Structure formats: structure tokens, C-alpha cells
């Protein structure tokens, strides 16, 4: 991971964010489970409950089906809300940049917009040749009819 960070800062940072997101999700989920599993009235009682609960605030969905009832669980929840939302927002920003960036290049180093403009010019050139050939076609048909 450190090698990726050195070679490609953007892609290395993306790996770092994904790794940290998974680490925080697992660590905070297990920490919440530690506080909640034996508490009376707790609804986070299994590891799957804890992972589900951790993912919901990180994505800002907030279903409310799982929630901490102990003071320790709520403090862990504050950490998850703060860190999880920041990491998920960073990851979402990377995805948005990947989909919307006009600076990305195709293989071969050519800009997509330049390729499109070149393609349009080629289609216009071929269309002009086709129109010229169609214009000459009646005369050529006449020549062939006279020859036979």
C-alpha cells in the first residue's frame, strides 16, 4: 500500500481510504458489540448486527433499526458517525471524480473530446464524398446505357 501511495498519489489515496473505511467499520463495530452485547434492551447483540449498525451511520442512511443503548456504545457511535461519514464522503468524491472528470485520457494519450471532433470531421468528409459520388451517378448510368 505504501508503494502505491508513492507511485500514484490519487490511486494510493483511494486504496488508503478504502482500507481505512473497512478497518474503521470492523473496529468500531466490534467495539460497539463489546459494549452492547450484554446490555439490557440492546439490539446490537451479534457481530452481524454490529457491522450492519456501523455501515448505516457511515453512509448517512440512518435506518434506526440498530442503535446503541449504553454510554460506551453511544461514544463509539459518535466516533463512527464522524470518522465513517468523512471516509465514505472521501470515497464518494473519488468515485464522482472518476466518472465526471473530463481530464481523464484514453489509452494512447488522446483526449475523448479530440477523438470525437476528429470522428465528426471524418464522417463529414465521407458524407461529402458520398454526395459527390451520388451527383455523378446519373451521368455514369447514362454513359453505361449508351455504351450498351
Query: pLDDT tens for residues 110-144?
Result: 555 567 778 888 888 888 888 888 888 888 888 88
DSSP 19: H
User: At which residue does the C-alpha cell 490519487 appear?
Assistant: 10
CA distance 105 to 102: 8
Of 15-19, 52-56, 109-113, 117-121, which range is least confident?
109-113
Res 35 pLDDT > 90: yes
Band (pLDDT 50/70/90 cuts) for residue 1 is low
Res 34 pLDDT > 80: yes
Band (pLDDT 50/70/90 cuts) for residue 8 is low
On whether the CB atoms of residues 23 and 58 are closer than 8 A, the answer is no
CA distance 12 to 4: 5
Domain 2-100 listed as CATH 1.10.287.70: yes
Res 72 pLDDT > 90: yes
Single pTM value for the model:
0.56
Res 50 pLDDT > 70: yes
CA distance 137 to 128: 14
Amino acid at each position: 500500500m505504501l508503494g502505491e501511495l508513492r507511485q500514484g498519489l490519487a490511486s494510493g489515496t483511494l486504496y488508503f481510504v478504502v482500507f481505512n473505511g473497512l478497518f474503521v467499520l470492523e473496529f468500531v463495530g466490534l467495539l460497539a458489540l463489546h459494549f452492547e452485547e450484554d446490555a439490557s434492551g440492546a439490539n446490537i447483540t451479534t457481530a452481524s448486527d454490529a457491522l450492519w449498525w456501523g455501515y448505516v451511520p457511515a453512509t448517512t442512511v440512518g435506518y434506526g433499526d440498530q442503535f446503541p443503548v449504553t454510554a460506551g456504545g453511544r461514544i463509539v457511535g459518535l466516533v463512527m458517525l464522524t470518522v465513517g461519514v468523512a471516509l465514505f464522503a472521501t470515497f464518494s468524491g473519488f468515485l464522482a471524480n472518476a466518472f465526471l472528470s473530463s481530464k481523464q485520457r484514453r489509452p494512447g494519450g488522446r483526449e475523448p473530446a479530440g477523438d470525437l471532433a476528429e470522428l465528426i470531421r471524418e464522417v463529414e468528409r465521407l458524407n461529402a464524398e458520398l454526395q459527390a459520388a451520388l451527383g455523378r451517378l446519373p451521368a455514369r448510368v447514362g454513359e453505361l446505357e449508351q455504351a450498351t
